[in-house]
Amino acid sequence: MEIEYSKTRSSQNKRKYAAFLQVIGDETKVPLKKSKLNNSQKPDHLLNLAEKSFIYLHKNILKTKPKVIAKTLQRDSRTVVGFIKAVEETDTFHGNHASKGRYRKGGSSLGSRHKDFLRQWLESGEINSVRGAWKKLNSIRNLKKVSYHPVKNYIKTLGGFVKPGFKSEISEKNKNNRLKYCEKFKNYSFKKVLWTDESIFQLNTNNTKVFHFKGQKPPKIAKLNPNSKIMVWAGVSYYGKTSLHIIEKNVDTDEYLKILKKTRREILSMFEGRGPWRFQQDGAPAHRPLRIRRYIRRWLTPRIHPHPAQSPDLNPIEMVWAQMKVLVEKERPQNKSQLKIALMKSWEKITKDKIIKCIENMPEKIKKIIELDGEIA
């Protein structure tokens, strides 16, 4: 593109132009005759320094209208008007990238000091985003400025920002009790223990993963109403499992005692001829009354296996319940009656081998708890 300028100037305009040159400096002089502006090497919406000087001269000194300037430069009038407005706001030809939150230009590689700072901040949790890390890094005086993407790429090699999962807070007293339990039973086989517990199953759990193809809408499952819940009770051991009991009401002492009476014979047949065995239950309110413990000691076994508070990870049946919930979700129950059927089908699919794997994992779990000083593994 060629731009031609008129050689005839009034004496007043010549004086204005000379004063303009003194302000902007010799390096930004606008050619008086002809100048080729190579637009093939830059986007159409960007102006080079010669064009910026031309616009500034004609708008502020020669008082030319922006539309006429744009027509002369063969530019979009919005580009010219935008530049004029930006100069009026900032008093400079430079872009206002910082005020718009854009990334300032900097070095394309990180030095050892940059990496040390980033590691230190990530380990202490002082930053929670890549942008925050980049801004904090460039705010340090006497440290070479760096671009955004090198910071992003380096942090990516270390890991990523994720939402932390919830973790139960365990009191010091319960930590000590967990450690005592683990030290006592770290070499125990757990073959002759019946692990019992309740669990809640409900509709709309949505545990099953489905594949999502790129470019397609994310898959959705209709939320069922009402959100029915069912509580169940069962026991598992190295030698098998009890029947699954669906609890229609809230679990209280009377309801729990009824379940124990119903399952008494199948529990005893499970351990028949195997010598002394232990009955395990947690510290739920329905399990604590004296008459419950008396019934277990008289009609089941005199040995009740201890269970420290806040210790779901020390009961293998919790892993069995996790497998059950996946199986139930695959059945896609639509109402409470279908949920009951799905529970019974899923319980039948829990094989003896799966239960044995969960129980045999106990020594390894106990070892981890000891290493973590009583925290949940």
Please state the rounded mean pLDDT for residues 7-32: 54
170 with 358: CB under 8 angstroms? no
66 with 60: CB under 8 angstroms? no
pLDDT tens digits, 208-257 = 666 667 777 877 777 777 778 899 999 999 999 999 999 987 889 999 99
The most confident of 26-35, 92-101, 157-166, by mean pLDDT:
157-166
Q: Look at residue 269 and tell me whether its pLDDT is greater than 90.
A: yes
pLDDT of residue 96: 54
Q: Quickly state the pLDDT bin for 174 (edges 50, 70, 90).
A: very high
Q: Look at residue 295 and tell me whether its pLDDT is greater than 90.
A: yes
pLDDT of residue 43: 47
Q: Look at residue 13 and tell me whether its pLDDT is greater than 70.
A: no
pLDDT of residue 259: 96
Percent of the chain exceeding pLDDT 90 equals: 48
pLDDT of residue 42: 44
Please state the rounded mean pLDDT for residues 159-187: 87
Please state the rounded mean pLDDT for residues 298-326: 95
Q: Look at residue 78 and tell me whether its pLDDT is greater than 60.
A: yes
The lowest-confidence range among 82-91, 185-194, 278-287 is 82-91
Residue 110: count other Cβ atoms within 10 Å of its Cβ. Answer: 19
pLDDT of residue 164: 72
Q: How far is CA 119 from CA 29, 115, 129, 142, in A?
A: 48, 6, 13, 19
Q: Look at residue 14 and tell me whether its pLDDT is greater than 90.
A: no
pLDDT of residue 107: 67
Please state the rounded mean pLDDT for residues 84-98: 70
Q: Look at residue 165 and tell me whether its pLDDT is greater than 50.
A: yes
Top pLDDT among 15 and 243 is at 243
This prediction's pTM: 0.60
Q: Look at residue 91 and tell me whether its pLDDT is greater than 90.
A: no
Q: What is the mean pLDDT of the chain?
A: 83
Please state the rounded mean pLDDT for residues 140-158: 89
pLDDT of residue 63: 82
Of 174, 205, 226, the C-alpha closest to 336 is 226
The lowest-confidence range among 21-35, 54-68, 137-151 is 21-35
Top pLDDT among 349 and 90 is at 349
Distance of CA 59 to the CA centre of its chain: 53
Percent of the chain exceeding pLDDT 70 equals: 81
